[in-house]
Structure 1
């Protein structure tokens, strides 16, 4: 395969597969191209990464979906608890990787300090790229590719993050339209590649910010998908909708952020219910595995942990757990374990013996272990890290009378009290992973 020729493979997404927009195009490139691109990325990434905003977590070292989900959950829970107004606008770009204006891309590389020589090399790699579409084992005629960063290219994540970072920096520079985060700084958004959650205290601020992000995005070829933005409001009296180019954005009671459900109540019940449903689907898809007499119990348990439990406990570190939610998770796990041939309902064994026989931890203990592993990871980060700051952040406002609702933060602080630790002591302990 020539360096400047790629084979476009269609990957189906959700929806009607007779429509082209329901496929994702991945370009298969030559191995020498990929090796050379890796060399280029290694030359640039550290210098450029140091300039990227902390709000962006995708394709970056020591950052994860869990960090972003936890930060947003804490913001919601604390805003609800302190009766503070909050607007969240979850936006997604339309065909993001496919729409970036290449001519603007080269200017942005220079703007972020990439040497002109490297910019010219990257530009030369992109100019004159040809593609063929693979369909039913056959290749179509060749055609030129003049826009986009390529899905399947090692440079693409690096280049796309730079574009999104510039968009958010530029759109946020016009004024204070975010939520008050520290005494000196505001938090305007949380980003995971092109999954953006815009944050504001007031309707007018969110309207200005949404329009600004849309305009700046359009200048580099990106368009916000008008059918996908979801606006979630907390403690607000203003019923006016947020609009984008004259179209009203949908007000919702909940939305899915990076695979986890965020709702207007600020809890985790809806997400736990959804996780159990997804895990049940994953379990039933492996019915032949569980009924097999050729696989040992140990192998089945390992498959259960990797293929079912991973789905079930995705984002569990961020859950506001209650006795009810823990019981639901535990009942599901027990029901799955009892459906394996090696364990039957007629065995009438205790749960503790079941955990021991299958080498599993009780649900509450496992979720707590995952949560504290994540907290340790977070406390080892810089004091300027947004996720770390979220652990002690409180919005401006006043609590309602009566007993405050349980939150992720209160669960963490209750565990700390049980262990006789405070945040300062935990930060010290977290630096030494042996402890």
Structure 2
């Protein structure tokens, strides 16, 4: 705990992995919000999704000890860590043969409670040198990277700035013993104009440019929309429903119990990352249709049967609640981050320079959420979020679509 208390204040707020109170949801939300707000102000976003080769196995022990000394970790604690990591030997056993023993000089120990913090410290040392380089400015703060453990995305407004970030990250990573995998490190350009090329390199190797990328389990597309991700989530939930079909369609189990199983094992797959979704009317219909798809199959209603959705809901003794629960999760998450002075708050409310395009604006995540809550202006809703009890009442009394 003493070592952890020394390390954690040094970890930047762009790191969401192994950090108390944060998770993949925070990282995905911030990336989607940055993309959404940049497109609103007619900015292009250049992204580089870094893949490290065996990141946790590459941490140099002597560099790790050097960093701990710089943090003035107590001598006794430092000796304990040295005794854990130094003078380690290992061999490989194949059937009855054992290879010669080798000294282990790299890598954090699997299962050690201190390993996540030690790795984060190593990662922080690499990316701390990026602070003075351009990224995207929100609320007076320059943001050029987001991280979840070793899953790192570099962010810039143009190709030249992103190449600088890649070069610095590559150099610093090598110094700390980590290596960028040029075959799996990929780039993407988020913009309103299709087919904008970005020739970017790692040590002379050209990086692949993608139209979409799966970041922390969610699909980010070059148009910045959530449509592809939501459709993929629905398909994945249906696949898992089929795997549990013997249970979910078993008439010997009460429908109430089966619906509970559906909500525990299937719907969380569909709802993963929903806190950051921008849900249009078209997508809302698909989500509601997916919910009825589950109910109809639980009752074994054939596709030829002329049974209305209302009749199905009556038989299941249920109501359409999936869309409402998604909106509630969005509202609860936004309320949580608004009451904290963190980076999530900044990317949500901070001012971004630029001009909006003419004509009707594209629907944004906060537009849909506040409309569901019965508030006309996003700023009015966000100002209410500071009062926890008032925000809870607004969520509880919401009468928007999907309830």
Q: Note whether the superposition's TM-score is higher than 0.5.
A: yes
Deviation of residue 239 (structure 1)? 3.8
TM-score, length-scaled by structure 1:
0.81
Q: 1:379 aligns with which of 316, 323, 338?
A: 338
Cα deviation per residue 1:360-386 (whole Å; 9 max; x = unaligned)? 65232121111111112112212xx11
Cα gap change, 1:149 to 1:203, in 2 (>3 Å):
same
Question: In the TM superposition, what whole-angstrom CA distance separates every residue of 1:15-47 from its partner, at most 9, and x where no partner exists?
Answer: xxxxxxxxxxxxxxxxxxxxxxxxxxx222233
- Partner residue of 2:149? 193
> How far apart in 2 are the matches of 1:278 and 1:422?
36
- After superposition, the C-alpha distances for 1:374-427 in whole angstroms (9 at most, x for unaligned) are 112112212xx1111111234322222110111113324444662787256323
Aligned equivalent of 1:210, options 166, 177, 182: 166
SS at 1:63 equivalent: coil
1:297 to 255, 275, 278: 255
- For each residue in 1:200-250, what CA deviation from the matched residue of structure 2 results, as whole angstroms up to 9, or x when unmatched? 112111111101001101111111111122212134897441111001111
| Aligned twin of 1:20 | none
SS at match of 2:298: coil
Q: Which residue of 1 aligns with 2:295?
A: 337
Q: Does 1:392 align with 2:392?
A: no
Task: For 1:131 and 1:301, locate their aligned partners in 2 and report how far apart those are by CA, in whole Å.
Answer: 51
CA change 1:333–1:414 in 2 (3 A) is: closer
1:151 equivalent in structure 2: 110
Give the aligned partner of residue 38 of structure 1: none
Q: Is the partner of 1:311 in helix, strand or coil?
A: helix
Give aligned pairs, total: 388
TM-superposition CA deviations, 1:42-88 (whole Å, max 9, x none): 22223321221000011111112111111111111111121113211
Query: Contact 2:186 / 2:207 at 8 angstroms: preserved in 1?
Result: yes
> Which of 36, 47, 52 is 1:77 aligned to?
36
Please list, as runs of the form range in 1=range in 2, the aligned pairs for 1:356-367 lying within 5 A after superposition.
Answer: 357=316, 359=318, 361-367=320-326
Counterpart contact for 1:289–1:300, Cα < 8 Å = yes
**Equivalent-residue separation in structure 2 for 1:218 and 1:310 (angstroms):** 39
| Distance in structure 2 (CA, Å) of the matches to 1:46 and 1:386 | 21
Q: Kindly tell me: are residues 338 and 417 of structure 1, through their superposed partners in 2, closer, same or farther at Cα, counting changes over 3 Å?
A: closer
When residues 143 and 300 of structure 1 are mapped into structure 2, their CA distance, relative to the original with a 3 A threshold, is farther
What are the ranges of 5 or more consecutive residues in structure 1 without an aligned counterpart? 1-41
Match of 1:102 in 2: 61
* Contact 2:7–2:71 (8 Å) recurs in 1: yes
Match of residue 265 from structure 2: 307
Aligned residues of 1:379 and 1:430 also touching (Cα < 8 A): no
Q: CA RMSD in A?
A: 2.9
Equivalence for 2:136? 179
Q: Is the 8 A contact 1:391 1:409 kept in 2?
A: no
- Where in structure 2 are the equivalents of 1:217-296 lying within 5 Å? 217-235=173-191, 239-296=197-254
Q: Name the stretch that deviates more: 347-356 or 92-101.
A: 347-356
Q: Deviations over 1:289-347 (max 9, x none)?
A: 22445543333222221221110111111111011111112212211222124877759
* Conserved? CA contact 2:51–2:184, under 8 Å: yes
Q: Using the alignment, how far apart are the partners of 1:186 and 1:84 within structure 2?
A: 15
Runs (5+) with no aligned partner, structure 2: 394-403
| 1:118 alignment counterpart | 77
Quote the Cα distance in structure 2 between the aligned partners of 1:282 and 1:132: 41
Please point out which of 340, 361, 380 is paired with 1:404.
361
- How far apart in 2 are the matches of 1:433 and 1:120? 49
Q: Is the 8 A contact 2:47 2:188 kept in 1?
A: yes
Answer yes or no: is the 8 Å Cα contact 1:416–1:422 preserved in 2. no
